Amino acid sequence: METERHPFEPFLPEKATILFLGSFPPQPKRWSMPFYYPNWNNDFWRVMGLLFYEDKDHFAVPGQKRFDQARIEDFCRAQGLALYDTACEVKRLKDNASDKFLEVVTPTDLPALLARIPECRTLVTTGQKATDVIVDAFNCAEPPVGGYVALSTGQSPLTFWRMPSTSRAYPLALEKKAAFYRRLWSHLR
């Protein structure tokens, strides 16, 4: 079983205040773009479209099953959103994108990543595997889904939020997922 290295550089806009962390990107055959949350069947960008533009298809390319990477990157810069994952090297135990069959070989050096975005005050995980890695890395409490805990990283204090997975495999309707993320944004503004 081969190990896979993370295919993307961390997306760390200047003055980022929020860091979203998933577990690891799906295999390239599942990408609709070479960027974070690339799977067309993942609802992360639909949730952002609903929250910010009241349009789940805001980040979709009309008539195509792909997301508009340039529009997404501009949005993230404007909103101060940084993106990466909690693993930089993994083994896939099955030929799929499921976190359940993902073995983290090398977790991300989170203190080093956070040092690159000194204005970051909020860490958000988008699924259970990412949450487990944060809890292990910082020996902290696990927040409930849609909730948060204070997190001490040795640098600035952070608020650590745990959001539901935006994967379609997670059995929750898009609007209900968006409601959890809406709560996050209402605390940040």
pLDDT along the chain (189 residues), means of 10: 91 96 91 95 96 97 96 98 95 76 88 94 93 92 94 84 89 91 89
The CATH number assigned to the domain holding 72 equals 3.40.470.10
**87 strand-pairing partners:** 107
Which pLDDT value is given to residue 115? Answer: 93
Domain encompassing residue 166: 3-188
- If one counts the domains in the chain, the total is 1
pLDDT of residue 65: 95
Q: What is the CA radius of gyration of the chain?
A: 16
Q: What are phi and psi of 167, to 5 degrees?
A: -65, 145
Distances (CA, A) of 98 to 11, 19, 81: 23, 22, 24
pTM of the model: 0.94
pLDDT score recorded for residue 98: 67
Chain-centre distance of CA 96, in angstroms? 18
Name the residue type at position 132: D
